[in-house]
Structure 1
Amino acid sequence: MTEKIKILMIDDHPMIIEGYQNTIQFTKKEHQELSIDIANNCDEAVRYMDKAILQQNPYNLLFVDISLPPSSDGKMTSGEDLAAYARDILPKAKIIILTMFNESYRIHNIIKTINPEGFLIKSDLTSSELASAFQAVLHNPPFYSGTVNSYIRKIDSSDIVIDDKNRKILHLLSQGIKTKNLAPHLNISLSAVEKRKKQLREIFDVQDGQDETLIEEARKRGFV
C-alpha cells in the first residue's frame, strides 16, 4: 500500500533544502511516495499553504527553518510565526522545526508556542538523524535532537516564554522603529505597547530602560 506524503520545505538557503531533499528521498521506505514543494521565504510558504487548502490537498509534513526574513507585509517576522500560521490552517500537518539557535530560552519558547512534532538543531544535524526524524515524526512523534532534549531537561517551568506580539515588538525595535510608531504595526494601543515593553525589560532583567540594552539582551538569548 503506497503511503503518499506531501511535504513543504521552507528555508532561505537552497543548498540546505537540497540536502534535506536528497536525504529523505534516499532514505524513504519503499512504499513511501514523496511530493515536495520548496519555499525560500515566508511569502512563498504562505502561498503554498493557502493553495494546498484551496485545492483540498493539504501538506502532511512541513520542514520550517526559524531564521527566515520577515514577510513582505511584516506580519511574520520568522519561521516561528510561519509555523504558528501552519498550525492554524493545517491542523493535521506535522511540523519539523530546524534552527541554528541553540539557546535554551529560544528552544523553550518554540516548544511552548508551536509544540512541534520534530525539533532539530542544524549545527548538530546529520543525514542519519534527519532520516530518523522524518520517519519518527510521520509515525511516532515527537522527535527532538539531543541538544533540544538536554535543554528541555534543564529548563524549569518558570523560564522565559514570549508571545508573538512581544516577539514582534523586539523585532520592530531591532529594525530601529520608535516606540510611538509600534502600535499601528501590532493593532494595539500605545499604552499596551508600553506595558509589554515593561514586561520585556523585566523578563530580560534590563535596568536602564534603554531599547538598545533590551535588544542586546534579547539578541544574546536568540529572540532577535
Structure 2
Amino acid sequence: MNKQIRLVIVDDHPIVIQGLRSVFMNNAHISIIADFNLGKDLTDFMATNQVDLVLLDGMLRDGNGMDLCRKIKMISTDTYVLAFSHSNERSTITQMLHNGASGYLLKNASVEELTYCIYKTLNGEVTFSKAVKEALARPVSSDLKRVPELTKREKEVLGLIAEGKTTTLMAKQLFVSPLTIESHRRNLLQKFEAKNVASLIHLASGQGLFRSTV
C-alpha cells in the first residue's frame, strides 16, 4: 500500500475492538483512527473526518449494521465498508451488500484472512472470507429464479468476479483485452438485471451459480 489506511471499527463488544487494535498495532499500512460502539458516534465522526474503511459489526445497540452501512455510503461514497459479523445468514450477507458493503467476513476469520480482505477491499474488489463464500454457495429455493442463459466465457468471467478478481487480472488469466472483460461484465449485469457487481453476486449466488467458483 502506498498510504496508510485510515480504519474505523464499529462493534458493540469492547473485547473485539481491543483484540483488533492489538492485531493491527504494529501494521505499518493500517491505522485504527477511531472505534465506536454506537452507529451515531460513527456518523458524527465521519462528518468531520476522512475514513478509508469501516469494519462494521452486523448488530449494534442503537441499530443494525445494514442500516448503518447505507448511512455510511450516503455520507461518503469513497468510504469502503467491510462487514465483520457472527451471522452467516445469506439474507444478512446479501442485504449488507445491497446497502453498499464491499465485503463480508465472519468473526472466526484468521488475522491473515482479515488483513488480506482489507487490502482487497481498498483495491476496489468485493471480498468475502472463506466461510462466507461457503454460505453464499448454498442456494435457497425461495431465491431461485430463471437462470439467465450464459455463454461459456460469461460463466468464466462470472466465476472470476466471484473470486474478486480485477478486470486486469481477468484479462490476463483469460488472454483477452480488458475491454473484452468489461463487455462481458456489462452483459452479465444486463442479463441478471443487476445494478452493480455486489447485486450481481447476490443474484447469481441465489441461483447457485457459484458452487464451483467460491
Shorter-chain TM range is: 0.5 to 0.7
Q: Partner amino acid for 2:52?
A: N
The separation in 1 between residues aligned to 2:74 and 2:114, in whole angstroms, is: 25
Q: Distance in 2 between matches of 1:69 and 1:113?
A: 19
Give distance in 2, aligned partners of 1:132 and 1:103: 23
Q: Secondary structure at the match of 1:38?
A: strand
User: How far apart, in 1, do the equivalents of 2:130 and 2:23 lie?
Assistant: 19
The aligned runs of 1:40-55 (5 Å cut-off) are: 40-52=37-49
Determine the structure 2 residue equivalent to 1:23.
23
Secondary structure at the counterpart of residue 88 of structure 1 = helix
Q: Name the SS for the 2:74 alignment partner.
A: helix
In 1, distance between residues paired with 2:8 and 2:14? Answer: 13
Q: Which residue of 2 aligns with 1:134?
A: 118
Q: Distance in 2 between the 1:131 and 1:63 partners? A: 11
Distance 1:84 1:33 in 2: 24
Q: Does the CA-based 8 Å contact 1:24-1:134 persist in structure 2?
A: no
1:157 is displaced (CA, Å) by: 9.4
Unaligned 5+ segments in structure 1 are: 53-57, 71-76, 161-224
The 5 A counterparts of 1:163-174 are none
2:33 paired with 1:36: yes
SS in structure 1 opposite 2:122?
helix
Matches within 5 A, 1:161-200: none
For residue 156 of structure 1, report the CA deviation from its aligned partner: 6.1
Q: Where does residue 106 of structure 1 map in the other structure? A: 92
Distance 2:31 2:129 in 1: 23
Instruction: Report Cα offsets for 1:201-221 as digits up to 9, x if no partner.
Output: xxxxxxxxxxxxxxxxxxxxx
Distance 2:117 2:25 in 1: 13
Q: What is the Cα deviation at residue 105 of structure 1?
A: 2.2
What's the CA shift string for 1:179-217, capped at 9, x where partnerless?
Answer: xxxxxxxxxxxxxxxxxxxxxxxxxxxxxxxxxxxxxxx
Q: Secondary structure at the match of 1:125?
A: coil
Cα shift at 1:133: 1.6
Q: Percent identity?
A: 22
What stretches of structure 2 of length at least 5 have no aligned partner? 145-214
1:118 partner letter: G
- Quote how far apart the aligned CAs of 1:33 are: 5.8
Q: Could you tell me how far 1:140 is from its partner in structure 2? A: 5.2
**Paired position in structure 1 for 2:190:** none
Q: 2:51 — aligned with what? A: 59
SS of residue paired to 1:155: coil
AA in 1 matched with 2:53: L
Once the two structures are superposed, the pairs formed by residues 64-83 of structure 1 within 5 Å of their partners are: 64-70=56-62, 77-83=63-69
Q: Structure 1 residues 132 and 86, CA, compared in 2 at 3 Å: closer, same or farther?
A: same
Q: Following superposition of structure 1 onto structure 2, how do residues 213-224 of structure 1 map, counting pairs within 5 Å?
A: none
Residues 141 and 2 of structure 1: CA distance in aligned 2, closer, same or farther (over 3 Å)? closer
**Greater Rg by CA:** 1
Give the letter for the 2:102 counterpart. Answer: E
Aligned length: 144
Root mean square deviation, CA, Å? 2.4
- Per the normalisation by structure 1, the TM-score is 0.57
Runs of 4+ aligned residues of structure 1 deviating over 3 Å after TM superposition are 155-158
In the alignment, residue 131 of structure 2 is paired with which amino acid? T
Q: Is 1:93 the equivalent of 2:79?
A: yes
Distance in 1 between residues matched to 2:139 and 2:94, nearest whole Å: 7
Shift of 1:119: 0.8
